Structure 1
Amino acid sequence: MRRWIARFLISMAVAVPLTLIAVYVINPFGVRSVDPRQRIIGYGLYRVPASNMLPGIKPDQVLITRAGYYVKRSPQRGDVVTLFVPGYEGQVWLQRIIGLPGETVEITTGKVMIDGRPLEEPYVSPENLTADYSLSMEAMTIPPGRYFLMGDHRDNSMDSRMQDLTRREDITGKVVAILQ
């Protein structure tokens, strides 16, 4: 019996690491990250570094993200996502999907308009809408494969108003829970 237990433990000590390495290399979730948590179990942790998602998501909160969520699903308006931003290599940002491919987005007197209709945004605080670029933006049509993303703290967010629209392949995960 002792010999059987010893063989079992030795085989597990070899099999488990080899299996984890194989899953990491195969990358079944289609994750672009090198984080083993995301590549092996499909989930990752994200600590919020900035105040661009106030008031709902605060700096230093820890979020659980579902890595590779959009490999087989389409991004939806309102989803809070993690993303890579060209020109900021190695950084992962957090923003909310506002506009989808083919839609026209504009901002009039602080109200986001999608195809001429106001977008209901209970997650945006009126105190976060004082800067000129938060109050108005000319209409823009979103091309195929691109998304218009914004932070909830509109006065303190580097988002699609100031940089290129986000490519679908740059959206790395969906926030599914807030830990603290």
Structure 2
Amino acid sequence: MNGGYMDLHRGAESRRPGDKFGKAEARNRLLVTLGGTAVLLILLGVVLLLFVGISRVDGSSMYPTYNSGDIVWFRRGGEDFARGTVVSLNMPGGDRYIKRVVAVPGDTVDIKDGRLFVNGRAVREPYANGVTEADPEGFVTYPCKLSKNKYFVLGDNRRKSVDSRSFGPVASAQIQGRILGQH
């Protein structure tokens, strides 16, 4: 019995700090922790790439909601975007715009007397800065009936925005996703 105690005692002694066995065990624990952290970071990166995008606001077209230089993140995906939703758009030529959806497929858009009308009703827009005027050089004739998969988007800063008044309705395929927040 006493010999068994001594064997246990010697085993405990061999795990003292500074002992080779203790250092190897600590190193293994550190490697497992670092490996687990690396796997989690890789998984997080994959999730972000697949489901979340990041965009930079360039210019004052979304002021006061967003300022030039703000970084926004958006949820990727082709969902039905409701009126009032702020979205990230891919435009021809590779430009990215941040705009607000003001009309959805099937809606009729009109702009008159400095106001936006959707389906014959004036739209209350507490987020809008300035009056809404048609772009005389734009490609839109009013009233504008939106076809399937087409959205009408405007910048909140109406005097400083290039939007659907200029380039027309955007296809759902151009919408990268809904803005979730900003940094």
TM-score scaled by structure 1? 0.71
Shift of 1:21: 4.9
Tell me which residue corresponds to 2:62.
53
Instruction: For residue 142 of structure 2, give the secondary structure of its aligned residue in structure 1.
Output: strand
**One-letter code of the match for 2:28?**
R
Pair 1:165–1:19, CA change in 2 (3 A): same
The within-5 A match list for 1:77-116 is: 77-85=83-91, 87-89=92-94, 91-116=95-120
- Give the conservation status (yes or no) of the 8 Å contact 2:56–2:72: no
In 2, Cα distance between the equivalents of 1:96 and 1:130? 16
Instruction: For residue 121 of structure 1, give the secondary structure of its aligned residue in structure 2.
Output: coil
- Give the conservation status (yes or no) of the 8 Å contact 1:65–1:173: no
- Give the conservation status (yes or no) of the 8 Å contact 1:43–1:64: no
CA root-mean-square deviation: 3.0
In 2, Cα distance between the equivalents of 1:132 and 1:166? 16
Give unpaired runs (5+ residues) of structure 1: 29-37
Shift of 1:138: 0.8
TM-score scaled by structure 2? 0.70
- Indicate whether 1:139 and 2:143 are aligned: yes
Larger Rg: 2
- Give the conservation status (yes or no) of the 8 Å contact 1:51–1:153: yes
Report the number of matched residues: 160
In 2, Cα distance between the equivalents of 1:151 and 1:113? 16
Pair 1:76–1:137, CA change in 2 (3 A): same
Tell me which residue corresponds to 1:32.
none
Identity within the alignment, %: 25
* Counterpart pick for 1:157 among 143, 158, 161: 161
Shift of 1:171: 1.4
Give per-residue Cα distances to partners, 1:23-62, cap 9 Å, x unaligned.
75xx55xxxxxxxxx416x4454332111112332222x2
Give per-residue Cα distances to partners, 1:96-119, cap 9 Å, x unaligned.
001101111111112111111111
